[in-house]
Amino acid sequence: MKRTFLIGGVIAVVLGVGFYALAQPKSEDKKEIAKSGGKQHRLAAALETVQWGWLDPKEPPKLTIESGDVVSIETMMHAHDKVRAGITMDEIVALRKANPGGGPHSMTGPIYVNGAEPGDVMEIRILKIVPKNFAINFNLPGTDFPTIGALAPEMPNGFIKFFALDPKKRSVEFKPGVNIDLAPFPGTLAVGIDPSDPSPRKGGVKDDSMAPVSTLRPWKNGSNMDINELQAGSTLYIPIFIKGGLIWTGDSHCRQGNGEVNLTGLECSYREIVLQPIVRKDLKLEWPRIETKTHWIMTGFDEDLNKAMVNAVRETVDFLSTQKMVPMDRYEAYSLTSMIGDCRVSQVVDVRKGVHCMIPKSAFTKKS
């Protein structure tokens, strides 16, 4: 009853004040929500709970929860944990070729959320991320994979770098004199597939809209977005296409620069990523949106980077022209986007490229 009252209160406030302005609770409120009536769940990573490279809407749910419950999810390294310390480039190439059309990603799930229906929005609050102790970065040999990586033709050889992560530290040494601060985020966080996704389907199927979709391409259901702002404390809003929502996560990162230019970031896996999914029937979205403590973030994806930019800018203008904090028309929203919108290339290596546009909350000094 307490959980129902809390969620209903949040919805009422959002309807009264505008979409994103209060959709994200304060950090102390998150702690209270996590403790206030929603059940705690754990989903471990095992061969029976982790899928390699495909989002299959017919895959039986590995866990069923209620809206507002909290789930601690374990993730695997790529290719069902076959990417390990000491792996050779020949082995990485073989694994890449072992799953034709599919991604290398290991995806824990799906998680079925009771009450989630097509047309709703899944609000996913990322409460906590705890990495495991191994990470890797590599690029594939450009001679064999000339289109995978921004400089693939210039990098004929494959390259691997291994990292040992100390859970007590928030950084790792790249080499003596170069240190990398850790900033873990899920490279892939998805709900069930959009039946209208134009991505190729497993086995070349063309007449089944519910055939599995590769984890390679980001889309309206989220998937391989590789947006490094999705850290603990952020919230993802994704349109729902399939009953139950069907949440998956994998392709875990411990750090990644925008662009992910050589194919991989600091690839790792998580002892746990703690999520709180909430079914939102009061919101309608076409593309995923993100909220952090400091920014609202709109996304755009397309095989053509220019079109991805257009999609992200259009989403940003749509957001600004419909928010209720400080009303503005589309021309004003377009102008404001040009002046304060920070549009970044999320990644260029996942076939379907990504752009995310960031609007700073600090620009809004008046709340209606």
Task: Summarize pLDDT for 328-347 with one digit per residue, the tens.
Answer: 999 999 999 999 999 999 99
Instruction: Please tell me the predicted confidence (pLDDT) of residue 26.
Output: 41
Q: What is the mean pLDDT of residues 195-213?
A: 96
Output the six-digit token pair for 70: 């909290």
Dump pLDDT digits (tens) for 259-275. Answer: 999 999 999 999 999 99
Contact 117, 243 (CB under 8 A): yes
Sign of CA dihedral 32, 37, 42, 43: negative
The model's confidence at residue 31, banded by pLDDT at 50, 70 and 90, is low
| H-state helical runs in 36-85 | 78-81
Q: What is the mean pLDDT of residues 37-57?
A: 95
Instruction: Please tell me the predicted confidence (pLDDT) of residue 16.
Output: 34
Query: What proportions of the chain, in percent to the nearest 5, are helix, strand and coil?
Result: 20, 35, 45
Instruction: Please tell me the predicted confidence (pLDDT) of residue 334.
Output: 98
Nearest to 234, CA basis, from 124, 312, 345: 124
For the chain, domains (ranges, CATH) are 26-286 (2.60.120.580)
Dump pLDDT digits (tens) for 288-327. Answer: 999 999 999 999 999 999 999 999 999 999 999 999 999 9
CA distance 298 to 366: 21
Residues found in the chain = 368
Q: What count of other Cβ atoms lies within 10 Å of the Cβ of residue 166?
A: 10
Burial of residue 1 (CB within 10 Å: 0-12, 13-18, 19+) is: exposed
Instruction: Please tell me the predicted confidence (pLDDT) of residue 366.
Output: 73
Place of tokens 């799953």: 99
Q: What is the mean pLDDT of residues 8-33?
A: 40
Q: What is the mean pLDDT of residues 187-209?
A: 96
How distant is the alpha carbon of residue 24 from its chain centre? Answer: 17
User: Percent of the chain scored above 90 by pLDDT?
Assistant: 88
Nearest to 292, CA basis, from 209, 236, 362: 236
Q: Is the pLDDT of residue 218 over 50?
A: yes
Q: Which residue has the higher pLDDT, 36 or 346?
A: 346
Q: Is the pLDDT of residue 30 over 60?
A: no
Contact 358, 341 (CB under 8 A): yes
How distant is the alpha carbon of residue 111 from its chain centre? Answer: 15
Dump pLDDT digits (tens) for 238-254. Answer: 999 999 999 999 999 99
